[in-house]
Amino acid sequence: MTGDAAPLSVPLAERLRPRSFAEVVGQEEIVGSDGLVPRLLAGGRPPSLILWGPPGCGKTTVARLIAEQLGLPPVAISAVTAGVKDIKQIVEAARDTIRVGGEPTLLFVDEIHRFNKAQQDAFLGPLEDGTLVLLGATTENPSFELNSALLSRCRVAPFRELARADLGLLLLRALGDQERGLAATGLDVSEAARERLLDMADGDARSLLTDLECLALGSTPETPRSVDEPDLQALLARRTPRFDRAGDEHFNTISALHKSLRGSDPQAGLYWLARMLEGGEDPLYIARRLVRFAAEDVGLADPQALTIAVAARDAVHFIGLPEGALALAELVVYLATAPKSDRIYRAYGAAVDEVRRSGSLPVPLEVRNAPTRLMSELGYGSGYENPHASEDGLNVPFLPEQLRGTRFYEPGALGFEREIRKRIEYYDKRRRPQP
């Protein structure tokens, strides 16, 4: 974890890694003059930090710069390959350093979320007694992936995805740097190609520099290569949007799809659907969520929505991808444009709350079945009239006595619920008031 100049055989992204906080693009809230890191470093006591953000946003770079500024003996591991045994060895070596009057050891753990929550406990004691200063990098939400005891001993530094302007500055730096960049290759990238490269980077500096380095292969000052927008088609064809089927981005994206449909925006709904499918999401997971949406957010404003949702799920299960994507797209547009009502969702919730509040109230005798003589003698079914045979059948007390007159569901004024309201009012008028 040093800032020494890297040889040209090292990948471009590593060669251009910032050597000071001033060279870091973006992340002003983290490394700017009033940012989190300078304020913590000015406090005197080395801080333990969880660096949280998307790929290629500068987490490892900032960790290296912190290590250099603190002047502590650094150790770097990855949670992909390391285990508790490795942590214990590092802790023992760090304690030996402390015993001879040395400084705490700075431990950088990449992909720290890969450690399970029991393994994370190995850090607690060394952080508590000052043996270690921890810098953990993660692309996953620490609230979900790290245990509360570890989080209580660290500060979380949330990194944002790099903005287009940040990436544009990095692109110009790479093309113009003679020592560490590509200026010596003579590579010429047209304005249109630069714009497309920024599109393809998807907020990821490492991805941008890797693409740029690929384009520079074979370019020399004697035979410089010129890159225009059409030259990027091969790179673009291999690109998939950033998406994690199990992580924070997974939940963010399905939430965006759900809320777009709730807001009746079919354009946004189609976009988020495409993002998830192109990112490798299980289409049946999406279908299940859309079936839930049909019942929860459309409800009885359009009862056909649930039928269409189940049909789309069956279609995806039957034909798979890519053809099944069209069934999901059709469903997304239908749900987005359908009238919305969460009255059923709220009504069922109210019924559940009542059950939990009042417990197991007895079933009225009138609506109990009486298949035996004993049960008839006990009054089971007494007073029941079949509504098919008698008008009085509507006046049977169907709810427990304590709940008679309670209303859980009140239909809204949109879509088919207008018709349901008429039906409820019709039957209410035919019933005699319950005693």
Q: What is the pLDDT of residues 159-168, one digit of tens each?
A: 998 999 999 9
Region 74-84: mean pLDDT is 89
What was the pLDDT predicted at 290?
A: 97
Region 248-262: mean pLDDT is 86
pLDDT of 270 > 60? The answer is yes
The DSSP bridge pattern shows strands 132-138 and 49-52 to be parallel
pLDDT 10s digits, 274-297: 999 988 889 999 999 999 999 999
Region 60-66: mean pLDDT is 91
Strand partners, 155: 49
pLDDT of 115 > 60? The answer is yes
Residue 173: pLDDT band (50, 70, 90) is very high
Q: Which range (25-34, 255-264, 320-329) has the least confidence?
A: 25-34
The span from the CA of 157 to the CA of 411, in Å, is 47
pLDDT 10s digits, 142-161: 988 899 999 999 999 999 98
Residue 3: pLDDT band (50, 70, 90) is very low
What was the pLDDT predicted at 2?
A: 46
Region 423-432: mean pLDDT is 81
How many secondary structure helices (H) and strands (E) does the chain include? 20, 7
pLDDT of 73 > 80? The answer is no
Q: Rounded to 5 degrees, what angle do the CA atoms 255, 261, 264 make? A: 140
For residues 113 and 151, is the Cβ–Cβ distance under 8 A? no
- List the one residue out of 293, 303, 284, 219 whose CA is nearest residue 256: 293
Please, which residues have CB within 8 angstroms of residue 278's CB and are 6 or more apart in sequence? 240, 241, 243
Most confident of 48-52, 102-106, 241-245, 376-380: 48-52
- List the one residue out of 259, 267, 318 whose CA is nearest residue 289: 259
